[in-house]
Structure 1
Amino acid sequence: MTGHHQALALLLFGVFVVITLAITTWVSRDRHGSAEEFYAGGRLFSPMENGFAIAGDYTSAASLLGVTGLIALFGYDGLLYVVGFLVAWLVVLFCVAELVRNCGRFTLADVVVARMRERPVRIAAGTSSVTVSVLYLVAQMVGAGSLVALLLGDTSEAARAWTVIGVGALMVIYVSLGGMRATTWIQIVKAVLLLGGTIALTVLVLLRFHGNIDALLRTAAERSGHGQAFLAPGLKYGGGWASRVDFISLGLALVLGTAGLPHILSRFYTVPTARAARRSVVWSVGLIGGFYLMAIVLGFGAAAVLGPDAVRESNSAGNTAVPLLARNLGGGADSTGGTVLFAVVAAIAFATILAVVAGITLAASASVAHDLYPSLRRRRVAPRSEVAVARIAAVAVGVVAITLGLLARDLNAAFLVGLAFAVSASANLPVLMYSLFWRGFTTRGAVWAVYGGLVPALGLVLLSPVVSGSPDSLFPAVDFQYFPLENPGIVSVPLGFLAGWLGTVTSAEPPDEAKHAETEVRSLTGAGAV
């Protein structure tokens, strides 16, 4: 890109950052410092507002950059992410949203401790929530590095490192100053921008092929170099038995993982009632479903218009397919139209990253301040002190995410999110489901369910091709790969449920029938909900 083209894109970046910082500053002037205000925005958001915020929280860099890139590179096999991300919301709608809103207050641990001994459960659930949040943040950092490197025409490690550091600094500012209310409005603005930009690009792709979807798919297959195999299963996950099992493992993680994501669960506390939580999920399903349908068009559009080779040349993981497609649809790299469209899409993608990292960081800092800090200190903490701890925790989480983001800079953003979903489905979902639906569940079962899913999931990732043993690994020069799958979900998710069952049946502590009855009535009717 020429100098004035880069200046235009950077200007649009700057405009969005200024607007979001203004929102954060404006909201922070009106806050009264309570934990409910910081964590839940005062529970004042309408179902429509919260639905847009959930859509903004969920459609991350992995969706806009990673999923479209995978479809552009691998065709049909890239669609697994779209299907998994969308089907997961049925689990959230029917099994989680209303019950979590009635039983909890700010975090996942609030739901579980309603009928358990508080300290061990809060430590376990808080540890798991922070781990999932950090893994999810790493994907956003990788997306930010790829995007700005393309924008500046500087693919050096130094440029990408400074990008990741800058994004981390902004997310800490958003969370520490504005809390949930500012984060929610940033996500709403981002969702509107993202949907608007995606609609515009989808229309341009369809106009390029005169509205003929068949022509779009045939052209994508021809340019892929794989022919009709590009439109059939197996290009990425069809090698041997390990690839096929990996396909099933990834699908399992994507479908089950959403219901345990801390930053998604925290959104159900920002509305006044359980009915509003359910309606906000309906809004978000419509918005997210529409976005992913358009993402399919953009992924195949990038394959047809650019070709997978051009996508790989820019970024081997495919993270820059959509910005490159926008530049081509606007007239090319040296045209004003191409530059403007590229700059707008790049700015929207950057807005996506900033909004999502703010939501995830807030969820992680809430788990540290509300669950881990009081439990480890063995005493109750005043609300104002808890909020102060949450702001400090936001900085610490940002530092960890930046460090890991620099290590994982060459991996696909959607793939990294898949790992976060696997840990969420393995550690958070079992304890949540058992707590809500199993009368005999005990404290030991809750702790074992968390660690029984968390430790195997992380351990299997460390021993997988993701970390070592292949040219695309984090550490390609070493080889301690003993687990053949890239996604551990097919093993770690059942282990999480098994550990929860085993811990319960071997527990000497009898289940508290009275507390279970109270929790059941509260979850189903909302009686006594905060």
Structure 2
Amino acid sequence: MSASLTTALDAVLRTAETEDIGNPWVNIAIFGGFVAITLVIVFRASRNNKTAADYYAAGRSFTGPQNGTAIAGDYLSAASFLGICGAIAVNGYDGFLYSIGFLVAWLVALLLVAELLRNTGRFTMADVLSFRLKQRPVRMAAALATLTVVFFYLLAQMAGAGGLVALLLGVDGTAAQGLVIAVVGALMILYVLVGGMKGTTWVQIIKAVLLIAGAAVMTLWVLAQFGFNFSDLLQGAIDMAGEGGEAVIEPGKQYGVSAMSQLNFLSLALALVLGTAGLPHVLMRFYTVPTAKEARRSVVWAIWLIGIFYLFTLVLGYGAAALVGPETIKAAPGGVNSAAPLLAYELGGTILLGLISAVAFATILAVVAGLTITAAASFAHDIYASVIKHGEVKPDGEVRVARITVVVIGILAIIGGIFANGQNVAFLVALAFAVAASANLPTILYSLFWKRFNTSGALWSMYGGLISCLVLITFSPVVSGKVDPVSGASLSMIKNTDVDFAIIPLENPGLISIPLAFLLGILGTFLSKDGSSPEKYAEMEVRSLTGAGSEKATVAH
């Protein structure tokens, strides 16, 4: 989740010195306990991983409530807990806009595409996009878009994991943080390699329970400090902010500075809201339930859990502002990312801080595991089995390739995370969501709802969205030219303030690339001679809306 993550993780990575917060050995003990318990569960879950359906979709054995909890675990990343709390603590009302935006994004994803995709597909998003179009070119384009989204999202998570966990464990220096990134990557590889989707799902369920329970305990604890009166809590945040403190409960503190800042927010919000509906690792979760009815139950559970959690972030953010103070938060190691840990330390000392640190660690592991299984499934199922082998491959051979892919992706993520450590990761997260919104979502919607849509339209939209995102991000301020007006330091990926090739003022390309991708899909369809298949569209429509035939597709697609 993303813009909050960009600010939060960048603050961690820019930290020059580390101060011990609490007791690192307590944090290590709690981390170790979590890893040991989840590894036992993953190994137990792996006993039944015999087929491709077992490895990719957990044998479609999870109930609606279980899958709904796992979806919440997949959706609520470290940024949702650490980043949004920090954004609210520092920017007040404007920070809470992230919580609102992410919840709305989730509703868009569920109501618009989630159940329809589950009814139509088998293992991956490309199953749906190629259902009534030419298999090989569409699968290749969808897989490349998926791998791009996953890689940059994974890279940002790994780089952030190094900074965050190193901070909480009290280790300093590039080599130490690199070691932390390698450990996180190795655990991720082990979880996915052994457990597949079933093991990953159980890790996500445990993580969701821990995250929501931890946030609930801290929320009640904060409210108790103010007599369970939310107005008193807001007044405490205003008083702690000092002169002009009323700005923390009014709109415009962060995004009302200029017309360009408002435009940046609009562009970012568009990418987040629509990008979530195209995030392959979130959509893939719907293939783990046996029926459309269970998919709908997943929806209900996920909405409740995610909605309640984002209400918690409002109390936690303003609680950190009132009890810790925005200046203290910004000055601490980790910057705004330290809001939730500092609040935990303020409320419950070393033990509560250790528990919250373990929750953050569990969150990172669950998210990277979900991303990795998605990338492995996309490569093995879409590129290897469907494009390279023309569909003539045994399921166990496909799973073997998926496992090899997990190791390769894990190694690349570790190397990339170490390389990105100490650099601004804002552009990585922005790119992941922008690619998902531009390359994936238009093609998904057109495939599901537009009878005339054809293969050329899909390729124009996917490749056009992907390429435009890459170009726009490259020539935007998040790569070069963005300078802190106070310190004069570079806030871009390139740390040399003299290097500036930013010609696009928008920090996120969503406002340009998303409409462009929709337009290219229309142009590609009308300008090509590719025909569409009304019969296949009718079959897809019936299946997507009713679920009829979707269970049969799990056996023979």
Amino acid of the residue matched to residue 16 of structure 1?
F
User: Which amino acid letter does the alignment assign opposite residue 547 of structure 2?
Assistant: G
Residue 360 of structure 2 is aligned to residue 360 of structure 1 = no
Query: Does the 8 Å contact 1:37/1:180 carry over to 2?
Result: yes
| 1:348 maps to which of 340, 359, 362 | 359
User: How many Å separate the matches in 2 of 1:176 and 1:358?
Assistant: 10
Is the 8 Å Cα contact of residues 444 and 504 (structure 1) preserved in structure 2? yes
Q: Following superposition of structure 1 onto structure 2, how do residues 228-267 of structure 1 map, counting pairs within 5 Å? A: 228-267=246-285
Q: 1:154 aligns with which of 171, 178, 194?
A: 171
Is 1:474 matched with 2:493?
yes
1:60–1:415 CA distance, 2 compared to 1 (3 A): farther
- In structure 2, which of residues 81, 85, 90 is the aligned counterpart of residue 64 of structure 1? 81
Moved more, 320-329 or 109-118: 320-329
Which string of whole-angstrom CA distances, capped at 9 and with x for unpartnered residues, describes residues 417-453 of structure 1? 4542222111111010000000000001111111121
Residue 16 of structure 1 corresponds to 34
Corresponding residue number in structure 1 for 2:324: 306
Quote how far apart the aligned CAs of 1:355 are: 1.0
Conserved 8 A contact 2:156-2:429 = yes
**Amino acid in the other structure paired with 2:494:** F
Return the alpha-carbon distance in structure 2 between the equivalents of residues 277 and 57 of structure 1: 15
**2:449 maps to what in 1?**
437
Match of 1:392 among 397, 404, 411: 404
Equivalent in 203, 218, 223 of residue 186 of structure 1: 203
- Tell me the TM-score normalized by structure 1: 0.94
Segment of structure 1 superposing worse, 510-519 or 224-233: 224-233
Gaps of 5+ in 1: 331-337
Inter-partner Cα distance in structure 1 for 2:289 and 2:414: 31
TM-score, normalised on structure 2?
0.90
Contact persistence 1:465–1:481 (CA under 8 A): yes
Give the drift of 1:306.
1.4
Deviations 1:89-148 (A, max 9, x none): 222222212211111001110001110000010011001111111222233224322322
2:140 aligns with 123
Aligned to 1:496: 517
The answer to whether structure 1 residue 29 and structure 2 residue 41 are counterparts is: no
Q: Superposition pairs for residues 75-154 of structure 1, below 5 Å?
A: 75-154=92-171
Whole-Å Cα distance in 1 between the matches of residues 195 and 274 of structure 2?
A: 31
Deviation (angstroms), 1:275: 1.8
Structure 1: how far apart are the matches of 2:114 and 2:296? 6
Q: Are residues 134 and 427 of structure 1, via their aligned partners in 2, closer, same or farther at CA, if it must alter by over 3 Å?
A: same
Seen in structure 2, the aligned counterparts of structure 1 residues 415 and 348 have a Cα distance that, compared at 3 Å, is: farther
In structure 1, what is the Cα distance between the partners aligned to 2:90 and 2:195?
A: 39
- Is the Cα contact below 8 Å between 1:150 and 1:314 reproduced in 2? no
> Which 10-residue stretch deviates more, 116-125 or 58-67?
58-67
Q: Which one is further off, 414-423 or 264-273?
A: 414-423
Q: 1:520 aligns with which of 527, 537, 541?
A: 541
Aligned residue pairs total: 522
Whether the aligned pair in 2 keeps the contact of 1:93 and 1:278 (CA below 8 Å) is no
Structure 2 CA distance for aligned equivalents of residues 245 and 400 of structure 1: 35
Offset from partner CA, 1:481-501 (integer Å, 9 cap, x none): 111121111111111111111
Amino acid in the other structure paired with 2:412:
V
Report how far residue 413 of structure 1 moved.
7.8
Is residue 422–residue 489 contact of structure 1 (8 Å, CA) maintained in 2? Answer: yes
Paired residue type of 1:438:
W
- 1:190 Cα shift? 1.0
How far apart, CA to CA, are the structure 1 residues paired with 2:299 and 2:425?
Answer: 25
1:323 aligns with 2:346: no
> How far apart, in 1, do the equivalents of 2:335 and 2:387 lie?
41
Q: Distance in 1 between matches of 2:373 and 2:540?
A: 27
1:210 aligns with 2:227: yes
Paired residue secondary structure (2:171): coil
Aligned to 2:6: none
Q: Is the 8 A contact 2:271 2:434 kept in 1?
A: yes
Q: Aligned match of 1:294 in 276, 300, 312?
A: 312
Q: 3-state DSSP class of the match of 2:504?
A: coil
C-alpha distance in structure 2 between counterparts of 1:515 and 1:405, whole Å: 43
**Root mean square deviation of aligned Cα:** 2.0
Moved more, 353-362 or 467-476: 467-476
Structure 1 match to 2:388: 377
> Which has the larger displacement, 165-174 or 301-310?
301-310
Distance 2:154 2:335 in 1: 18
Which amino acid is 1:430 matched to? P
Determine the C-alpha separation between the residues in 2 that align with 1:416 and 1:285: 27
Match of 1:454 in 2: 466
Deviation track 1:141-183 (CA, whole Å, cap 9, x = no partner) reads 2432232222222342222222222111111111111101111
Asked if residue 223 in structure 1 is aligned to residue 235 in structure 2, the reply is no
Q: Percent identity?
A: 55
